[in-house]
Amino acid sequence: MLQLVVMVFIARHGQSEANLDDLFAGKELNSPLTNIGREQAKFSGAKVKLLNIAKIVSSPIERALETAQIIRDSAGLNEIKIEVEKDLEELAMGELSGTKRFKGVDEFWGAVGVEDPDKFRDRVARTLLKVDEEGRNILVVSHGVVIKAIITIENGLTAREIRTLHDIENAVVKEVDMDAIKKFLE
């Protein structure tokens, strides 16, 4: 019997005003896409067109949702309704939201209102498993720290190491290793 290989892809939103200004946004700051961000999303749509996507799921945050709409339209997938999933929201950054970005690990995770890294990563993994559907290629549109959480799972890193990873490019599209996600949740 022929077994279909089904894939989940994740895309980061296009450049936002907070990215341009080098600010922490988190889920608290509504930071719309820039014109460059919209162009990045169109470019990603051209790549997505080749992926046989049957379902699109997005974070409800405006910058991700707009990116999902642009990617869908650019890929010619207008018949697909974008599903919104609250648990794909960016990490809560509390008092850091709207402030200049910095590289420190301990001061980041110790800031007031920043979401616990283990709980955040667990939220991301469980949500990916929830939206995964047998027999359909899926595109998830979310945020940089969400993608970093996935990378830590795929590479056996701790949740706190999210802060040590390089920034994720805007509008990048990456395949998710769903076997690693499932193993993590066992």
pLDDT score of 5: 58
Domains of the chain as residue ranges with CATH: 8-185 (3.40.50.1240)
Over residues 34-74, the pLDDT tens digits come to 999 999 999 999 999 999 999 999 999 999 999 999 999 99
Q: What is the mean pLDDT of the chain?
A: 94
What is each CA distance from 75 to 46, 131, 139, 161, 184, in whole angstroms? 6, 21, 12, 34, 32
The Cα–Cα gap between 56 and 3 comes to 22
pLDDT score of 3: 45
- Listed as ranges, residues in the chain with pLDDT below 70 are 1-5
19, two tokens: 């990215």
Which residues neighbour 75 within 8 Å (Cβ) at sequence distance 6 or greater?
45, 46, 48, 49, 53
pTM over 0.75: yes
- How distant is the alpha carbon of residue 65 from its chain centre? 11
pLDDT score of 108: 94
Q: Which element (helix H / strand E) includes 82? A: strand 82-84
The closest alpha carbon to 128, from 50, 57, 65, 62, belongs to 57
What is each CA distance from 169 to 40, 144, 165, in whole angstroms? 10, 8, 12
Q: Using CA atoms in the order 16, 75, 126, 148, what is the torsion angle rounded to 10 degrees? A: -40
